[in-house]
């Protein structure tokens, strides 16, 4: 279930979502309709970087991703991180 929009940029929006078992995750929905192949490869590279940064405390934890062909979106799901003040 999508709870609210927590960020947006030129080609993406980030939503706070809740899973069926009540976990809070972050969904980054990247709109690909105006993206060229170089940009798409850059988005896929971001996924690779997130996978490599799994053990860094200050970086969101990569959870899963999907390419939705019908809506032309790349969805990246991460576990949000709380940074102490």
DSSP 67-79: EETTTTEEEEEEE
**pLDDT by position in tens, the chain (length 85):** 889 999 998 889 999 999 999 999 999 999 988 888 898 889 889 999 999 998 898 888 999 999 988 888 999 999 987 766 6
| Domain containing residue 14: CATH number | 3.30.200.20
12, 5 Cβ separation under 8 angstroms: no
pLDDT of residue 84: 65
25, 77 Cβ separation under 8 angstroms: yes
Residue 84 lies in a domain: no
Name residues whose C-beta falls within 8 Å of residue 13's C-beta, 6 or more positions apart in sequence. 5, 7, 28, 29
Residue 12 lies in a domain: yes
Structural domain count, the chain:
1
Residue 18 lies in a domain: yes
Residue 85 lies in a domain: no
Give the domain extent around 61. 2-79
Residue 25 lies in a domain: yes
């Amino acid at each position: 279930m999508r709870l609210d929009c927590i960020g947006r940029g030129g080609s993406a929006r980030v939503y706070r979502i809740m899973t069926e078992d009540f976990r809070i995750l972050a969904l980054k929905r990247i709109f690909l309709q105006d993206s060229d192949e170089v940009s798409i490869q850059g988005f896929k590279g971001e996924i690779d970087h997130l996978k490599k940064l799994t053990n860094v405390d200050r970086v969101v934890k990569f959870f899963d991703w999907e390419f939705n062909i019908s809506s032309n979106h790349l969805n990246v799901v991460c576990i949000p991180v709380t940074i102490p003040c």
